[in-house]
A and B are shown apart, each in its own frame.
Chain A
Amino acid sequence: GDQVKQSPSALSLQEGTNSALRCNFSIATTTVQWFLQNPRGSLMNLFYLVPGTKENGRLKSTFNSKESYSTLHIRDAQLEDSGTYFCAALNYGGSGNKLIFGTGTLLSVKP
């Protein structure tokens, strides 16, 4: 099943506007990562979160482990923010750890 549900699947923003992406988890996790996959396919690390909030420039992310969700807020969207955003839940235990990815949000920022 969908252990990591990401929404929306696609989003179009006008340059300069704000928006939020969300991930809901149906698996227990204590750590979340957010990535941006650029049009060339490279995965760039955005956030590594234990429960709480982090901010980096125009991006802010929150992970609420009790309610099993994480959000990524984009403020003042720029053209270079376009790409596919993935959240991933870290599932780890005695056999090592693995990231379980959502299906992504395709963001298009337009001038």
Chain B
Amino acid sequence: DPKIIQKPKYLVAVTGSEKILICEQYLGHNAMYWYRQSAKKPLEFMFSYSYQKLMDNQTASSRFQPQSSKKNHLDLQITALKPDDSATYFCASSQRGGGAEQFFGPGTRLTVL
């Protein structure tokens, strides 16, 4: 059974629209993260949450907003989508925030036309 679920697996959006990427983890972890992988850049850190609180934000744009409705959920809302946002977005989790091993979900591949 998958321990970290990301939905949808593939997503196509038009420029200017808004989408929400879903992430749920069933590992009992207290910290969750978002990373992005695009053709132009290696995997890069976006956000980290610990006990549903934002710990670190390395995303310059406010168009990217994480949302944590439950301890094991960390969704990513992206507004005013641009073609440059096209990438695979990975959710990850770890038992705690301080140096623990991180495990990754299968990713959501977003294409913005």
Contacts and interface: CB of A to CB of B under 8 A. Distances in A.
B101 A48 contact: yes
A96 B106 contact: no
Contacts, number: 62
Interface in A92-110: 92, 95-104
7 closest Cβ pairs, A-B complex: A96-B55, A96-B48, A98-B45, A48-B101, A101-B43, A96-B56, A43-B104
30 contacts: A31-B99, A33-B101, A33-B102, A40-B106, A41-B88, A41-B107, A41-B109, A42-B104, A42-B106, A43-B107, A45-B103, A86-B43, A88-B43, A90-B99, A92-B97, A92-B98, A92-B99, A95-B48, A95-B56, A96-B31, A96-B48, A97-B56, A97-B98, A97-B100, A98-B45, A98-B48, A98-B56, A98-B58, A101-B43, A101-B44
Interface of B: 31, 33, 35, 42-45, 48-50, 55-56, 58, 88, 90, 92, 94, 97-104, 106-107, 109
